[in-house]
Each structure stands twice: as structure tokens, then as C-alpha cells.
Amino acid sequence: METKKQQSPMMWILSQTGDHGGQYVLSVILALIGVAFSIAPYFTVIGIVQGFMSGQKELSFYLVRCLYMALFWLARILCHSFSTAASHKATFAVLGEIRRKCLDKLARMPLGSVLEQSSGALKNILIERIDSIETTLAHIVPEFTANLLIPVFIFIYIMTIDWRMGLASLATVPVGIFCYALMMVGSGKFYQHTITATKALNDTAVEYINGIQVIKVFGKTKSSYDRFVHDAYEASHSFIDWMRASILPMTFAMVVMPATLVSVLPIGGLLVKAGSLDPQDFVMIIILAVGLVTPLVTMMSYSDDIRTMGTIFGEVRSILEAPEMERPETGALPQSNDLELKDVHFAYKDKEVLHGVSMHIPEGSFTALVGPSGSGKTTIARLIASLWDVTSGAILLGGTDIREIPQEDYADRIAFVSQDNYLFNMSVRENIRLGNPSASDAEVEEAAKQSGCHSFITELEHGYDTVVGSSGGHLSGGERQRISIARAMLKGAPIVILDEATAYADPENEAVIQRSVSKLTEGKTLIVIAHRLSTITDADQIFVIKDGVINDQGTHTELLEHHGLYETMWKAHMEVKDNG
């Protein structure tokens, strides 16, 4: 089987420019013209020197050429400015599109693939790594390209004057390349270490901030802070060690390669002395050799960016090219909302957590999933919600495999409320409106009333316009839960999945949430995961999950008669309830 050839980093990033390619072409052309204008004064100086040597005494001759040089430099600045403006305008648009592509990709990836990456690592890729692409697109593409071509043109011109001096002007290049190669030795290892250390620092910082309450309560401030300091030290020294290892060869490369006169002056002097090189040509070649220095130095200033390009782009590509849940863009929609799991197996990484689960959930029924922690209940719910794909087997909606239903169409039929539903750092109103972006303010408030959270919302400082804070941190767990239910209620989906909907509720609020759930699920298919078994006694069917398989199934009464795991769980629940 033929393996698809991997695109080089530069070809990949150029493929992302899309409709902005014309602006980059314009930027490169302007950069070329700008560099040409920066070289033009050297030719003017050649004319001035030749005027001196030929006995030219007219002041106007020299003043005109000085004016030319001033105009050349002005033109160079203008071209550089317009080139930079064009490349940056295109680049920031491209970076925005890459970010949007990454976020869209994360939404299409299986939930497990997203969760296995830390939030710090993802933040690092989406912010810092994508920002790092700016140098490549906005500077390396136009400026490196232009500064590479101009020395080539100058070298060819020197060769037309005298091929020996052309070769002499390149004498320092092999030494510079050798120093550059020494600088590159181990750079991949060093840069990868900086990536690993920076990720660790980001993860520790996020963990430290998110866990600050636990840290303070249990008096772990010093040990937790020490870990943060350690990771910060490792991150900073990963860069310091890298720079220390490459500073000498980098310095020699920067000094030696542009030092064209080191070889041009003695060799040219000997040729002039021998009579085989015209003195005027020698002067011209000296000035042109000096003109080679600026483009070479500019090119070499991007060496760090070039050698890290592969790693930076590789991290962004790891998201954009990751496997995603395959769903058709169009397809026939099921005529009913009957759900069926047929011999479903699911493995998280290399460990299988569901082993041949089969169940039928009729449309409009109330189905409960119960079992010990870690038994696979939430995994089943997430598979039904199409947050993951089954490893083998199938989940059918109305007799159609959900993998054959367009993702958006399937999502419209599912409302998922988990025990740790996320609220965004925006107003209460906008968090609820996420359930139906086209809903009016009146419809949002009606959903809040039906979910039992209107009263506490109106008591907030700004009512429905109160910003809930990061992850809803300004609200209690029960309040966040009820807002999540209001959001699901506003969506109006025919299938509702509740994962521990009363997890954060006290007895009083639990009753409010239960009434809200009853309104939310009236006439709909309801799937509930519950530890409080008293909340699902009237379920049409209960599946008892243990170790990734269905241990038992039936109604509440039937399961008690089976004298199995459910009865044991029920007795334990009632004891806790009585003691409470």
C-alpha cells in the first residue's frame, strides 16, 4: 500500500494561506523591490568612486548621485512598509482561520481524544503555537525570500565581471555553513525539551489556579507553589541550556558568513597587482561584496524560526489532522426516536470499558442506568449522545446507525445535562440561550421559570445579565445545574440524557430540579444516570451496569425481586437516606 507523502512544514503552511495567496505574492514582490532599492545605493557609490578615479570634478555629478541614494533608501523604506503591511494583514487573517479550523476540528473529534490532552497543552497550541506561525508567514515568506534572491543576483553580476572574484566572494560561505551546521546539532532535542517543559509549566499553572481552594483548605500552599516554581525553573532553563549550547557556533556563523571582504580584499589585491584585474572593477566588486552583508545577516536572523518551524507546525497539525468522528454532511433522517444499542464495545485508548452492551430504549420511555462508580454508565450516555464512536457494534436511532446521520441533525435530537455542565464566562441569559441561539429573551426567561431558576436569577446583582464567571464560578453547583437544565429545556430536543442531574442539589433544591426535569421530559425519551435510586423508581426500565456489561434489567419492582446487585444498592441507598 502506497504511503501518502508528508508535506514539508513550509509547503503545509503555504497551503493554509487560501484566498490570501495573492497578498503574499504582492508582499514578496514588494520585498524584492525593497531589497533591490537597498542594494541600488551601492551601485551609485560605484559610480561616485569611478567618477573620482576618472577625474570627474563637477559637484552636480556627485550631488545628483547622493540624491539618487536618498531616493533609493526612501523607496526601500516604503516598499518594506507596504510589503510588511500586506503580509501582516494576510497573516492575521490566516491565523484566525487556522484557529477556527482547530476549534471546529476539536468539535468533530471524539471526546476522548480531546480529554486526553490537558487544557494547558491545548491552550498552548491554540494560542502560543499558532501565534508563532506569524513570524513564518509575515516575515520569513517575504523577507527571507527576497534577501535570498538578491545575493544570488549580486553573485551572478560579480561572476560576469570576474569569475575568480565571484568565487572569492563565496569563500566564507562554507565556513559559515559549517558553523551553522554545528549550531543545528541537537537543536531538535533541545527544542523538544523546551516544548515539554513549557507544557508542564502550563499544566501546573492551570492546575494550581483551578485547585487553589483545595490548596488553601489543606494547607498545601508551599508544596504546590514549590512545584510551580520547579516547573517554571525547568521551562526557563530549557531555553537557557539550548542557547548556551548554540551561542558559540551561532556567533561564528553570524560573524564569518557575512565577512565577504576577508577573502575579496587579499585575493582581489593580488589579482590587481598581477595586472589581471582592472582596479575599477576591483573597487566595484569590493562595494558589491559589502552589499552582500545586509541580506545575508537578515537571512541568518531567521535561523531560529526556521529550525523550530517543523515542531511548531507539527503541534498545530496534530489537531488539524487528527482522526475525527466520521459523519455525512447530508443523509436521510430517522422517522422515530427509538434508540437501540447492538453489541456495543468501546475501548478508551487500549483498555476496553464496554463489553457487548445491548439495550432497546423506546421513544417516549423513561430509562435509567445505575451501577457502581466506573461501571460504564456515563460512557454509554456519551456514546448515545455521539460524543464518542463505538469501537464495534452499533447505536441505532429509528433503525438508522447514528454514524450515518449528519452530526448537526443528530445533535438537534439530543439534550445532554451532565453533573458538571460547563457554563461560559458570559451572562446567565446567554448561557441559557446556547440551547437555542434564536430564542427571544421572553423564551429564555420562560425556560428559566420552568426549570426553577428564575427566582434566584432575579436576585443576582444584574439579574439575567449577570456574568457567571469562568466555568460558572460565581454560582453554586445547584444553581449551575438548574441553568444547565434551563438550557436543555430551551433546546426542546426529543431525547434528554441526564447524568446525575441532582448531584449538587440539597434536598430542597433536589425537589425543584425533579419538578424541572418532569417538565423538561414530558412526552420525550428520557435517559437518566442516577446514584439516588429513589429518583428513578418509576422508570419504565432500569439497566444495572457493572464492569462494562449489563448485570440486570427490569423495572424497580422486578429488580428488587431478582435479589441481585440492584437490591443491594437500593438497601444501601435507603440506609443513607434514613440516616440523613
Reference 307, options 246, 258, 240, 257; nearest CA is 246
Residue 458: what residue type? T
DSSP codes, 414-474: EEEE-TT----SSBHHHHHHTT-TT--HHHHHHHHHHTT-HHHHHTSTTGGG-B--GGGTT
Helix boundaries (H) for 257-323: 261-274, 279-291, 293-300, 303-320
* C-alpha–C-alpha distance, residues 508 and 515, integer Å: 11
Specify whether the CB–CB gap between 509 and 337 falls below 8 A.
no
- Which three cell numbers mark 325? 468522528
A 10 A CB-CB count for 203 gives 17
Upper half-sphere CA count for residue 69 (Cβ side, 13 Å): 14
Position 76, amino acid: R
CA distances from residue 235 to 64, 132, 191 in whole angstroms, order as listed: 56, 17, 11
Q: What integer pLDDT is reported at residue 223 of this predicted model?
A: 62
Q: What are the cell numbers at 52?
A: 573620482
Alpha carbon distance 552, 371 (integer Å): 10
The torsion angle over the Cα atoms of residues 563, 567, 571 and 572, rounded to 10 degrees, is 120
Nearest in space to 484 (alpha carbons), one of 373, 387, 497, 385: 497
**H-type alpha helices, 303-414:** 303-320, 377-384, 407-411
Output the CA torsion 137→139→145→149 (10° steps): 170
pLDDT tens digit sequence for 518-559: 766 777 888 988 877 887 888 899 999 999 999 999 999 999
Helical (H) or strand (E) element with 35: helix 21-53
Q: What is the pTM (predicted TM-score) of this model?
A: 0.65
First to last CA, the chain: 65
Domain 339-579 sits in which CATH superfamily?
Answer: P-loop containing nucleotide triphosphate hydrolases (3.40.50.300)
The predicted pLDDT at position 543 comes to 94
At 481 the pLDDT is: 81
Q: Which helix (H) or strand (E) holds 215?
A: helix 212-217
CB 201 within 8 A of CB 229: no
- Comparing C-alpha atoms, which of 301, 319, 305 is closest to residue 137? 305
Cell of 253: 556563523
Closest of 254, 286, 211, 214 to residue 53, by C-alpha: 286
Residue 362: predicted pLDDT: 92
Task: Specify which residues 525 forms β-bridges with.
Answer: 495
Backbone angles phi and psi of 374, in degrees to 5: 80, 10
The predicted structure's pLDDT at residue 546: 92
What pairing do the DSSP bridges indicate for beta strands 339-348 and 351-361?
antiparallel
What pLDDT is stored for residue 397 in this prediction?
A: 92
The sign one gets for the Cα dihedral 505, 510, 513, 517 is positive
> Is residue 401 classed as helix, strand or coil in its secondary structure?
strand
Write out the DSSP string of 145-176.
Answer: HHHHHHHHHHHHHHHHH-HHHHHHTTTHHHHH
**Amino acid of residue 424:** F
> Residue 143's pLDDT is what?
78
Element (H, E) at 27: helix 21-53
| pLDDT given at position 1 | 36
Q: CA 311 to CA 316: how far, in whole Å? A: 9
* Domain boundaries of the chain, sorted by first residue: 339-579
CB burial class (10 A; 0-12, 13-18, 19+) of residue 160? exposed
Q: Is the separation of the CB atoms in 84 and 138 below 8 Å?
A: yes
Question: What's the pLDDT score for residue 315?
Answer: 80
**Cα–Cα distances in Å, from 446 out to 145, 337, 429, 478, 511?**
61, 26, 11, 19, 19
- What distance in Å separates the CA atoms of residue 171 and residue 160, rounded to the nearest whole number? 17
Vertex 62 angle, CA 59 and 66, to 5°: 135
Residues (pLDDT < 70) of the chain are 1-7, 9, 120, 188, 210, 212-224, 303-304, 307-308, 501-517, 519-520, 576-580
Q: What is the pLDDT of residue 15?
A: 79
The 8-class DSSP code of residue 219 comes to T
Burial 101-123 (b: 16+ CB within 10 A, else e): ebeeebeebbbbbbeebbebbbb
State residue 312's pLDDT score: 75
